[in-house]
Structure 1
C-alpha cells in the first residue's frame, strides 16, 4: 500500500485529531510578550489561523476508493509593537470583526450601483435617439466602452497570453458578447423609437423569466410549476400595460414594445449561454473581449443601415455624440463592472432583489428626467410584472434547479 493511501478508519481518526487540535489552538489564551518597556500583542489573522485540510481522492491499486489527507498549519501570527506608555495601548480585545460581512456589504453596494447605472441609462438613451439612429447610438456607446476597458486592461496589465486561453475559447466569448450589448440593445433602441421609456423599463423585468425559459429549453433545467405560472402572470402584466395604457399619447406602440421584448430575450439568451460557456477570471478582460465582438457586429449594422439611408458620409454632430459616449461608459462599462464584481460568489437573496429593482429605477428616472406620465392601469401592470419576476427569481434561487439527468 502506498504511504499516501490510508484506510478509511485511520483517515477518520486523523481528521478527528486535527479537529480537536484546531479547537485547542483557538481556545488558547493570548499571552502578551514583553520586550523592555514595550508589550507585544499577537494579532491573529482568522483565515491564516485556520488549519487547512486539503482532501484529495486517490484510488487504491485495486480500484477501491481512498482518501489522501494532507494537513498543514499556517498560523503566522503577526506581532504589533505597542508601547506601555502609548496612547493607543488598550489591554483588552477589540470587538470581533468579520471580513465576510464587509465583503458581502461591498458586493451588495456594487449591485446597487449596477442597478442605478442600468436604470438611469434607459431615459438617457431615449433622449439621444432623436438625434442619432439606433445603429449610430450602439456604435458610439460600445466604442466608448471598449476604449475605457482597453485603458483599464492596460493599467491592470491584463493580456490574453497571460490568461492561458486558446483562440477558440476567446472566439466563443466574443461570439456570445455579440448578443449583449450589441444585439439586445440595438433591438431595444429600435423599439424605443416608437415606444416610451416607461414601457421599456417594465418590459426589462421579463429578463429573469427569459433566462429561466432558455435554461429549460437549452439545458433541460427542471423547475417548479409555480415558476411557469409566475411567468404567465408577468406576461399578463406586460399585456395590461401595452393594451391598457392610454396616457402615452400615441408614443407607445405595439411594434416598439415587440422590438424591446425581442431585445430583452436576446439579453436573456446571453446570460443563459454565458453561465454555461467559457469564463475568464479577469472581469475586465472578459468584458473587453465580449464588447469587441459587439463593436464588430455594431459596425456591420451601421454599414447595413447606411446603405439604406444617407450613407456614412453624414456624421452625427458632436452635440449628439458626446452624450452617447457618456451613456455607453455608464451602462456598458461601469454597470457591467459593478455587476461582475457584485455578483461573483454572492449567494445572498438581497442581490436578486437589487437586480430586480432595475425596472423600478428606470420607471422613476423616466418620470423624473423625461417627464413621462402613466395611468393607474400602467402601475397595476408594472406591479404585476415586477412582482412576478421577483418571485420567479427568488423561487429559482431557493429551489436551486439543475440540469435534468437522463
Structure 2
C-alpha cells in the first residue's frame, strides 16, 4: 500500500515542479508557496511524511486557502495513517467552513477505495471499491476485475458486467445453463448489465418452470427495455403465480405497454402496505401525481422496511422528504434498517459533499465505500 501512495506522490511532485517551471521568471520568483510545496512533495517521495506535513502546515498558516498546501498535508497524513488520517486532517482544516474542497475530498475518497481494494477481506466491499475505481478510469482496478472474473467469482463477474464488459456478460449467460439451482442472482446481474446480448437468453427463461426465474427474467427484460419481449410478457399477466404477474406488469409499463396497468392500479389500493409498495415499485417508470401521492403515504408507514423503500422511490422527486425519512431510519434500533437507510442515502439522495463526507465515517464498510464512490462520481471531469 505504501508503494501505491509513493507512486502518487512522485506523480504529484512532478506536476508541482512542472507548474513552477512553466511560470514566467518574475512570477516564479515571487511564488515561494509553490516552491515550498514542491519541496514538500519531494520529502514525501523520500518517505519523510513528517517533513512534508510540516511544510504544508507552515504554508497553510500563511494562507489557509492554499489548495496545494492542503493537498500536500492530506497526502502526508495518508502516508502515515491511511485514508482515515487524511480525512481527519481535511476536516481539521475545514473547521467551521461551509464550503467543501471537492478536489482534496476526492483524493481522500480515492485513497479509501484503493485501501479497501487492496486490504479488505470482505469480498463485496473489495469488489465495490474496485468497481468504483474502474468506473473512474483506474486501469489497474479494471484489470484486477477482468483478471478475477470467472465462473467461480460471481461478485467480480457481476461488477465487470455492470461496467459493460462483454466477456463478463457472456460468462453470466453461460452460467444460466451450467449453474445448478437458483439462477435469480445471475438473471438480476444480466439485467444490471444493460447488455442486449442478454435479451434472447432472458426471453427463454420466461417459460422456465421455476416461478422465481420467470419473475426475475421479466423484471430484467423490463430494465433492459426489451421491446421484442412484450408479447411473452403479456402472456405472463395470466400466470398462476402472483409475483410473475406483478413483475410482468411492471416490465410492460417500462416498455410503455399498459397491458398490466389495471393490475398494478388495483394493487396500489390494497389495504396492505407491502402490496401497495410492490405496486409502487413496478409503476416507478410512470411517476405521475397519483404515484407520488402513493409513495409519500408509504414514507409514513409504521414498518421501517416499507419507509426505507418508499424513501428510495420518492428521492428523485422529493429529496427533502427522502432525506428526512432516511435520517430517522439511520437511528433505528435494527442494524439492518440502519444499513439499508445509509445505502439509500448514499446512492439515491446524497448529492452534497458534506453528507457524503459524514458517511465516510459510517460504521458500515459498504456505506463508506459507496460514499467514496459517489464522491468520485460527483467530481469526475
Please report the TM-score for the alignment, with normalisation by the length of structure 2. Answer: 0.27
| Greater relative CO, 1 or 2 (CA 8 Å, sep 6+) | 1
Q: Decide which structure has greater strand share.
A: 1
Larger gyration radius, structure 1 or structure 2: 1
